[in-house]
Structures are given as structure tokens and as C-alpha cells.
Amino acid sequence: MSLPFPDIDPVALAIGPIQIRWYALAYLTGFLVGWRYCRALAARDPGLKPSPEQIDDFLVWVIAGVILGGRIGYVLFYQADLYLAYPMDIFKVWQGGMSFHGGLVGVIAALVIYARKHAIPVLRLADLAACVTPVGLFLGRIANFINGELYGRATDMPWGVVFPYGGEIPRHPSQLYESALEGAALFVILFFLARRDGLRTRPGFLAGVFLAGYGVFRFGVEFFREPDIQIGYLFGSATMGQLLCLPMIAAGAFLILRALSRRTGL
């Protein structure tokens, strides 16, 4: 027993030769909603940086960090041999190929540079960015599902889906698992933690929760997700996604313990 793949055209709108895909709309919506939410969070503490106006400026840096970091990360982590042979294909971003972990590195770099340039506490800006990132993850993984990409491993569960590019066997809709965990669940967790006044004196705590939370959720979902065909399994049954999540979990745990220790004076 399985579920049919929904007949959703990956192209949301076509005007002549111009095509607007759901994946692009997911990125755009994620940036816009995240920007507004981040602006609202910054406005709660009018005496602290960053100001809502600085969040407006920071949005451009985030977009650049996501796109450049995501593309470079994909090239280095997942398709290095291919792009080494065809280096000009690196610039063909319309053909797909983005890495979350690469995008994360790009955003962190943009965040640190912007914060230092404008004398903003790095960890406070990181906390704000952490609260809004799950919005983009939620939408992006749904777009992956619509595209029929990044599907899961074979399953006999009744909610298995026969993907158009995954053969005739039912597979885990791992994109929806990630959307629910890395997106919705992580957003809810950070939403309620951010509303606690005590956390305003614990810089880095929310960023740590995001890093550790995403790392744990992604590591778990990788057991249900089909590994990238060009890489397969590494070190036994481990995947590239799981290996890249380990430093995230470690960094997140460090930031959480650091924030709690400084708050309690330990």
C-alpha cells in the first residue's frame, strides 16, 4: 500500500519563456517572512542592537550568504569531482544544487562581518537569525517534495510515496519529515524560548538550540532519506548529511552550556 505522488507542477507560474518555480517562491517567502519576524523580535528591545532598521540592511547579507554559501557548499560537499571537470557549471544555479550546511556557513560569515562592521553583539544577532531560519527550512523542504527530489528510502509503511524519479517502489517522504522537524517543530521551540525574558541575558542560547536541534533532527531523518547517489554511504552506514551535522550538534551544545553557565555565574 502506498500514496500516489501529488500531481503538482514544480512551475508555479509561467509567463512566456519565464518560469517561476515553487522552489524559488519558497526561498523568496522564507526571506520575506523571516525578515519581518526578525524585525519584530529586534523591536522588543528598543535599547539594544540590532535595531529593526539594521535588520533591513542585514537581509541583503543573509541572502548573499545563503546563495553563495549554499552553492559553494554543494559543489565542495556533494559534487566536487563533477564541477572540477566542468567548472563553468558551478554558475548554473538554475539547474539546482544547494547545500544547507554550506548556506549555514555562508550566513555565519555574513553575520560575523556585518555584526563587527556595525558594532552589534555577534551572539545576539545570531540568536535572532536562529529564530527565523526554520521558516525557510519549512518552506524549502515542502518545495523539495513538490519537485520530487531528495526523497527517502524504500518503505512498506502506508504513507510511503511512489516518487516520479524514485522508481516504482514506495519511499519515505523524508522531505516532509524534515519540514515538520527542522522547520515547524524547531520554529515552535525557538518561538517559546525567545518569549522568555530571561533568555535576553543569555546570548548565544537560542543560536545553540537551533544548531543542536537542527543537527539532531537532520541526523535522525537521514536514516530515512536516500543518500546522494554520487556519494552513497560513508564510514559504514553514515551519510554525508549526518557527518556534517556532528559539528553542528557539538557547536550548539557548546553555545547552550556557555550561555547557561554565564547566566548562572558558574
What are 83-104's pLDDT values in tens digits? 777 777 776 665 667 788 899 9
Among the residue ranges 103-117, 171-185, 210-224, 235-249, the one predicted with the least confidence is: 235-249
Contact 106, 137 (CB under 8 A): no
Asked if residue 20 has pLDDT above 50, the reply is yes
Asked if residue 4 has pLDDT above 60, the reply is yes
Asked if residue 264 has pLDDT above 60, the reply is no
**Residue 227 belongs to domain spanning:** 3-264
Q: Which three cell numbers stand for residue 260?
A: 547557561
What are 119-136's pLDDT values in tens digits? 999 999 999 999 999 999
Residue in 41, 249, 214 with CA at minimum distance from that of residue 128? 41
Domains held by the chain: number: 1
What are 187-239's pLDDT values in tens digits? 999 999 998 765 677 999 999 999 999 999 999 999 999 987 777 888 778 89
Asked if residue 159 has pLDDT above 60, the reply is yes
Q: Which three cell numbers stand for residue 68?
A: 553563495
Can you give the pTM of this predicted structure? 0.90
Tell me the C-alpha distance between 31 and 79, whole Å. 26
Distances in whole angstroms, Cα of residue 264 to Cα of each of 193, 199, 261: 17, 12, 5
Average pLDDT of 29-43? Answer: 95
Tell me the C-alpha distance between 234 and 88, whole Å. 28
Place of cell 548554473: 92
Calculate the average pLDDT of the chain.
90
- Do you find a cis peptide bond into 50, omega within 30 degrees of 0? yes
Place of cell 552553492: 71
Q: What number of other Cβ atoms are within 10 A of residue 119's Cβ?
A: 8
Q: If DSSP states are collapsed to H, E and C, what string results for 94-116?
A: HHCCCCHHHHHHHHHHHHHHHHH
Place of cell 512551475: 11
pLDDT band with cut points at 50, 70 and 90 for residue 1 = low
Tell me the C-alpha distance between 131 and 195, whole Å. 11
Q: Quote the pLDDT of residue 237.
A: 83
Residue in 110, 38, 34, 37 with CA at minimum distance from that of residue 67? 110
